[in-house]
Every structure is written in C-alpha cells, then in structure tokens.
Amino acid sequence: MTAQNTRTAADPAAAAKRRRRQALRNVAVATGSTVLVAGFLVGVFFAFGEAGEVIAATPEATASAEIGDASVVVEVSGDRIRVGAPEAATTMAIWEDFACGHCREYETQIGPTVQELVAGGSLAVEYHLLDFISDYSAVAGSAAACVATEQPDVFFTVHATLFAIRENAEDEYSAEQLESYLETAGVTDEGALECIGQARYGDWVAQNAGAARDAGITSTPTVRINGEDVGRVDAAQLRDLVAQNAG
C-alpha cells in the first residue's frame, strides 16, 4: 500500500469532501433513488427480503461517454456493463474477476485493442464482474460499476487500474482505500466516489457470480464473441474476428 491509499483526518479538503458525501447519505432514500448525473439518468434499485431487509443494490444506467475522440454508449443493466455502439456487428462478452491473475494478464494484453475497436464503433464489449476469489473481487467490481453509472468517461481507465494495482494475491484494498486511490486516478465525480466508498454494488457482484456458475461459467476469464466460446483470443485474433463480422 502507498501513502495515497490512506486519507488523513487533518486534510481540510478531504474533511470537506467527507461532509459533502455524508450530506448525500442523509438525503438518500432507503427504497431507492434516481438522480441526474452529467445529463443522464442513473437509477439505483434495491431488492427486498422478508421484513423489508435490503438485500442488494442493482446498478442501472445508460449514458454517452467520451472514449478518446469518440462518443460511445455505456449501458449498465442486468449482470453486465456494456460499452459500445448498439449496432456494433461484434459483441465480446468477458466474465472476469479483478482478483484473478489471468484476468489481469488478459486485460494488459487485450485492453488497448478493445478500447480502440469500441471507439471505432465495430466492437461492443460486455463485462460480467464476478467475485470468485477474494474480498477485493467484490469491492473492485463494485467500484467499476460505480464509475460506469456515475462517471462513464473514465470507465476504461478505472477498469485497467483496478487490475493493475493488485500486483499479487496479498494486495487487498478496502472500499475506502479504493475510493482514495481512484480519486488520484481520475475519478472526480462526488457520486462515484461516494458509491465506491460504500462498496454499494458488492452484493450485485456476488449475485453475478452465482448467475455465472448457474450458466456453467466456473473460471475466469471466460470470453465469448457473439455468443460463442472463443477462448482467450489475442489482439490480432480479435481484430480478425471483428473484420470478418463487419464484412
């Protein structure tokens, strides 16, 4: 851990931000809320068990985000975060866990190409975030969902960062530590930071893992192109598949 992972109580700016976030908590409605963020609607929905107990918050949002010089659609619904044009001829679905070393390697290998193809309009990518491995799986998956719903312009940056900062199996970050770290990595939206610090969507990530197991997905990363299992295609293979589908 580095010093930037810990917020000091003596920092006036940090204290002011905490007060603003507490104000957001005070006006939140337990049954769910809908807020306007950067010109788009974000819904936060809760499932209820017996006696009105809140079980999980489910992220839902659709927004236009600036990825490089391109404007793309970011949609959060069901068990996925989808980034890319609705009419893209190729859809790449990835089931991944931020605590998974192989997923980290795969993101390093293919992430820049995915972003380039998404920005070009020929590829849409769907991320299914799971908690197969550790507590970090859930808090990092929640953080990614928070950014996708509240500040989608930096989603790809945060997605790569959440893998990069966990260099070995001993690296674990709490939700509050991730909030501090991601604030230095480009997350500036108060709602996004509030959401990250609460690990608001941790239970959603756990539910995704259960749904994945029910669908026969037991390892990460699992990759499908237009619904077909393709294994861990590399950047060149992905370009070829996208070109074939576009032709």
**Is pLDDT above 50 for 34?**
no
Return the number of other C-beta atoms located less than 10 Å from residue 27's C-beta. 8
pLDDT of residue 179: 97
**Is pLDDT above 50 for 23?**
no
Kind and range of the H or E run holding 85: none
Banded model confidence at residue 55, pLDDT cuts 50, 70, 90? low
Mean pLDDT of the residues in the chain:
83
CA distance 127 to 100: 14
**Is pLDDT above 50 for 11?**
no
**Is pLDDT above 70 for 49?**
no
CA distance 214 to 128: 14
CA distance 167 to 170: 8
pLDDT of residue 51: 43
pLDDT digits (tens, 9 = 90+) for 59-83: 999 999 998 889 999 999 999 999 9
pLDDT of residue 167: 85
**Is pLDDT above 60 for 52?**
no
**Is pLDDT above 60 for 10?**
no
Q: Which residues lie closer than 8 Å to 25 by C-beta, 6 or more apart?
A: 194
Helices (DSSP H) in 28-171: which residue ranges?
A: 101-120, 135-150, 155-164
Lowest mean pLDDT among 1-5, 109-113, 225-229: 1-5
pLDDT of residue 39: 37
Please indicate, yes or no, whether the overall pTM of this predicted structure exceeds 0.85: no
**Is pLDDT above 70 for 173?**
yes
Kind and range of the H or E run holding 214: helix 202-214
